[in-house]
C-alpha cells in the first residue's frame, strides 16, 4: 500500500502518543521503500534531539516525515525501538562519512598522521547542526537506557558499527607500527567514544568553564591521540 501523508492535526508536542495503527492505517508502509524509512529516521533524530526521549512523541515524528503513525508502527513496536534504530541510523552515517584508511608499509609517517586524524575526528567539535543532533540522540538513548538492561543492550548493539569501524582503524595502526600494539584496542575505542560524547555534552550543556576554542581542543586531542604511538626505547 502506498505511504499516506499525515494531516496536520495540530496536536501539541506534549500530547500522548498515538496508539498503534488502527484499521485505517493498518499495513501502511509494511513494504514501504527505504527512502520512506530514512525520512522517518531523519525525523526521529530531529525530534529526539529537540525534545528528549521522554518528551518526544511518535505522532510528531510521523508529522515531521509527512506520514501517519501507521508508517512508524508498521516498522517499529514503539518509541524505544525507534530511538534504537535512530542510533543505528546516525552511527551508520558516521561510518559512511569517515575517510577511508588505506594500509601502507610500516613507519609511513603520513599514514600515521592520517590514522591519528581519523581517530581524533571522533572527539572533534560537531562539524554541523546535523552532527550535533546525531550525538544528542546517542546521548539520549544511552541515558534513557541506563536502568533497563534490555534497552541498554539494544543501544549498545546499535553502536556496534562505530566500534567495529574504530577497531579496524586501530588494528591497521598497530599492524603498520603507528599505534602501540601493547595498548588495548577496546580501551582505545572506548576512549574515542567517551571523548566524542563527553565533548558534545560539555559544549551543549555549557558545562565547560568558559567555552573552549576549537583550536585549543583540537590541539589537546591531537596530543592525546599522539600518545598512542609506540614508545621509543
Distance in angstroms (rounded) separating the CA atoms of residues 183 and 124: 22
Mean pLDDT of the residues in the chain: 76
Matching residue, cell 550535533: 132
Mean pLDDT of 60-66: 96
Structural contact between residues 165 and 100, judged by C-beta atoms closer than 8 angstroms? no
The predicted pLDDT at position 122 comes to 61
Structural contact between residues 204 and 132, judged by C-beta atoms closer than 8 angstroms? yes
Structural contact between residues 161 and 95, judged by C-beta atoms closer than 8 angstroms? yes
Distance in angstroms (rounded) separating the CA atoms of residues 210 and 174: 37
Name the pLDDT band for 67 (thresholds 50, 70, 90).
very high
Structural contact between residues 178 and 114, judged by C-beta atoms closer than 8 angstroms? no
Instruction: Report the 10 Å Cβ neighbour count for 119.
Output: 24
Digit-coded pLDDT (tens) for 18-28? 444 443 343 34
Digit-coded pLDDT (tens) for 118-129? 666 665 655 556
Q: Domain 1-75 falls in which CATH fold?
A: Arc Repressor Mutant, subunit A (1.10.10)
Name the pLDDT band for 211 (thresholds 50, 70, 90).
low
Closest to 98 (Cα-Cα) out of 74, 75, 124, 129? 124
The predicted pLDDT at position 2 comes to 47
Distance in angstroms (rounded) separating the CA atoms of residues 220 and 203: 16
HSE, side-chain direction, 13 A CA sphere, residue 119:
31
The predicted pLDDT at position 194 comes to 84
Closest to 169 (Cα-Cα) out of 66, 59, 95? 95
Digit-coded pLDDT (tens) for 144-203? 999 899 999 999 999 998 889 888 888 888 888 888 999 999 998 888 888 777 777 766
Amino acid at each position: 500500500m502506498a505511504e499516506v501523508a499525515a494531516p496536520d492535526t495540530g496536536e501539541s508536542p506534549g500530547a500522548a502518543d498515538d496508539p498503534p495503527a488502527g484499521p485505517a492505517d493498518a499495513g501502511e508502509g509494511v513494504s514501504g521503500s527505504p527512502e520512506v524509512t530514512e525520512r522517518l529516521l531523519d525525523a526521529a533524530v530531529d525530534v529526539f534531539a529537540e525534545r528528549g526521549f521522554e518528551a518526544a512523541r511518535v505522532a510528531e515524528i510521523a508529522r515531521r516525515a509527512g506520514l501517519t503513525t501507521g508508517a512508524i508502527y508498521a516498522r517499529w513496536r514503539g518509541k524505544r525501538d525507534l530511538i534504537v534504530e535512530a542510533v543505528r541510523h546516525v552511527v551508520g552515517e558516521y561510518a559512511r562519512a569517515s575517510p577511508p584508511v588505506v594500509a601502507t608499509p610500516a613507519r609511513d609517517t603520513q599514514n600515521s598522521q592520517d590514522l591519528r586524524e581519523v581517530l581524533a575526528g571522533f572527539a572533534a567539535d560537531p562539524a554541523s547542526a546535523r552532527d550535533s543532533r546525531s550525538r544528542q540522540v546517542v546521548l539520549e538513548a544511552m541515558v534513557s537506557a541506563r536502568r533497563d538492561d534490555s534497552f541498554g543492550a539494544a543501544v549498545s548493539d546499535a553502536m556496534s558499527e562505530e566500534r567495529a569501524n574504530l577497531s579496524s582503524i586501530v588494528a591497521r595502526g598497530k599492524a603498520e607500527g603507528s599505534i602501540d600494539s601493547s595498548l588495548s584496542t577496546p580501551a582505545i575505542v572506548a576512549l574515542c567514544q567517551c571523548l566524542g560524547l563527553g565533548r558534545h555534552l560539555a559544549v551543549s550543556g555549557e558545562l565547560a568553564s568558559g567555552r573552549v576554542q576549537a583550536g585549543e581542543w583540537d590541539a589537546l586531542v591531537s596530543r592525546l591521540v599522539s600518545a598512542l604511538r609506540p614508545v621509543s626505547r
